[in-house]
Amino acid sequence: MRKNRLPALLLCTLLCLAGCGGQGRQISDAASPPPSGAEITPAEVTETAAQTESYTRSTPISAVMSDPAFGDYGRLIFPANTGYWSGNTLEELHLTWYSHVDPDKTVEIVNYMKARAEAGETIFYDIYTEEEKAADPAKRDTGLFFFRGEPGAKFAVCNAGGGFAYVGAMHDSFPHALELSKKGYNAFALIYRPGAQTACEDLARAISFIFAYAEELQVDTDCYSLWGGSAGGRMAAYLGTYGPAGFGGDDLPRPGAAVIQYTGHSEYSRNDPPTYSCVGESDGIASWRVMEQRLAQLSALGIDTEFHHYPGLGHGFGLGTGTAAEGWLDDAVTFWEKQMEG
């Protein structure tokens, strides 16, 4: 297996690639996660956020980013690459290449984050040391947002898309992580460096970080899952094929399941994990036929798969609220839970 290199096919097909070689340092060099603070359940946090309503649709995005509750990482709640999003308020947020951005979900997420942070819980973890960030300043724009589930529950890492040019987390990974936490699972949303190579390296590092600090984070590492849409779907697929070690991470198990939305990724192998995929039939960026063919090829190898395509739906629908895809996340969780039982 080639380490830290994406296959040539990806280099020819992906938008806005920004390759960066070099093997990451081992997770033992990373700073230990800070104390998690008071124990509160996801339901309690959601209820507190609803009661507090610190933010509303009319709240300026800049006010969220600069809120003292979030410290230095508030700027990473929205894309660090400012050329790919617009809007002054939470209601006006627009993300390039994404449809169906839900202002109510945006408000819910930022209120949830604020309530949890003000309750004393750690909601953001650095995955690189200060020394590593000094050597590569781009690593300052990385980290894991933690949507805490039940102590000891399994974990998922959600990876937003953005054409490997930016990270559209507010629509494409934060909502997924929040919903997974409501179901009791521990969910992380990765903020990574744009570029296919660096993104996969950051995901490998993130998985290594979670495994290294599983006891402190109170997560079960068995049969973890990787989730992603668009470019994030490619990340989940590549880490599923090559494992964290394939991109400079620790020698760890591949995921127990991959959940992939709207991506044109076609590469596959016998090593791929069970895979759930969904896409809109009117997606002008990622053809549903490509996804259908890939899952058929995985199935032919004896790998468990599930595929859904939705009429009239375009690219980047996220949770799919109010669309033909609404409820797909429940199906994906059921698919993941099936792998746990196996």
Instruction: Give residue-wise pLDDT tens across range 298-340.
Output: 999 999 999 999 999 999 999 999 999 999 999 999 999 999 9
Q: Which residue has the higher pLDDT, 10 or 238?
A: 238
Given a cut of 80, whether residue 48 has pLDDT beyond it is: no
Given a cut of 60, whether residue 269 has pLDDT beyond it is: yes
Residue 53 has a pLDDT of: 65
Mean pLDDT of 158-181: 97
Identity of the residue numbered 57: R
Residue 137 has a pLDDT of: 97
pTM of the model: 0.86
Helix, coil or strand: residue 15: coil
Mean pLDDT of the chain: 88
Residue 38 has a pLDDT of: 41
Could you give the CA distance from residue 231 to residue 199 in angstroms, rounded to a whole number? 9
Could you give the CA distance from residue 178 to residue 15 in angstroms, rounded to a whole number? 28
CATH, domain 125-341, list 3.10.20.30, 3.90.870.10, 3.40.630.30, 3.40.50.1820: 3.40.50.1820
Residue 41 has a pLDDT of: 52
Residue 51 has a pLDDT of: 46
How confident is the model over 281-290, as pLDDT tens digits?
Answer: 999 999 999 9
Q: Where are the domains of the chain?
A: 125-341
Check: CB of residue 293 under 8 Å from CB of residue 277: no
CA-to-CA dists, residue 182 to 118, 196, 263, 335, 338, angstroms: 19, 30, 26, 17, 19
Q: How confident is the model at residue 3 (pLDDT cuts 50, 70, 90)?
A: very low
Check: CB of residue 230 under 8 Å from CB of residue 240: no
Given a cut of 80, whether residue 15 has pLDDT beyond it is: no
CA torsion sign, 297 to 303 to 309 to 314?
Answer: negative
How confident is the model over 69-83, as pLDDT tens digits?
Answer: 999 999 999 999 989
Lookup: tokens for 33: 């996660």
How confident is the model over 102-153, as pLDDT tens digits?
Answer: 999 999 999 999 999 999 999 999 999 999 999 999 999 999 999 999 999 9
C-alpha atoms less than 13 angstroms from C-alpha of 220 in its C-beta half-sphere: 12
Q: Which residue has the higher pLDDT, 20 or 98?
A: 98
